Amino acid sequence: MTTYTARPVPAEVLKELRTADDAGRPVAAVPDAEGGAPLRCCLRHSTPGELIALVSYAPLRRWAAGTGADPGAYDEQGPVFIHAGDCPGPAGDALPFTGSHRVLRRYSADGRILGGRLVEHADGFGPALTEAFSDPRVAVVHVRAVEYGCFLYEVRRG
């Protein structure tokens, strides 16, 4: 059985996002009063009182810049929560945020969308990723929240 690893927002990108987000806006750090925000830097939910920021992030654009792809109209940006300061990253390699409905969106090496799949239960993630990566055209998979469409993390081969 293949094991898949969730990839958080990379540390070098987090440094940039903590200054200005992908929409060019300055970042405002706030204490999280309630907790529960899905943090894309360490792939866990925030706890009450943690200093976090909601920033605009363009995951496909950033991936494409590193690979030479041109996502064209599929280039989008959206809101993600991150720690306002340094973060050690994920504590483990389990796929996070699997307790709710999620969409796995597949992209080709040239940045074009190849399809998506709704995953309704945590035990459906492995089979859905296996299905996605059985297509040799798939270079990256984005896991997104159904309710808001927000990017949660990416999964790549290897």
Residues 91-108 pLDDT 10s: 887 889 988 899 999 999
> pTM to 2 decimals?
0.92
Q: What is the pairing mode between strands 78-83 and 102-108?
A: unpaired
What's the CA gap between 61 and 67, in Å, rounded?
10
* 18-24: long-range pairs with CB below 8 Å, 24+: 18/53, 18/55, 18/82, 18/84, 18/85, 21/55, 21/56, 21/57, 22/55, 22/56, 22/57, 22/58, 22/61, 22/62, 22/77, 23/56, 23/77
pLDDT of residue 97: 93
The percentage of residues in the chain with a pLDDT greater than 70, rounded to a whole number, is 99
Measure CA 62 to chain center. Answer: 12
106 and 116 in contact (C-beta within 8 Å)? yes
Average confidence score pLDDT of the chain? 93
53 and 84 in contact (C-beta within 8 Å)? yes
pLDDT of residue 157: 80
In which band, very low, low, confident or very high, does the pLDDT at 19 lie, cut at 50, 70 and 90? very high
pLDDT of residue 148: 86
125 and 98 in contact (C-beta within 8 Å)? yes
Domain ranges of the chain: 11-83, 102-156
The closest of 133, 132, 151 to 142, measured between CA atoms, is 151
What's the CA gap between 120 and 101, in Å, rounded?
5
Stronger pLDDT, 3 or 51, i.e. the higher one: 51
Other Cβ atoms within 10 Å of 135 Cβ, number: 11
Residue 2 has pLDDT above 80, yes or no: no
In which band, very low, low, confident or very high, does the pLDDT at 1 lie, cut at 50, 70 and 90? low
pLDDT of residue 94: 82
108-149 tens-digit pLDDT? 999 999 999 999 999 999 999 999 999 999 999 999 999 988
What's the CA gap between 150 and 58, in Å, rounded?
11
68-81 tens-digit pLDDT? 999 999 899 999 99
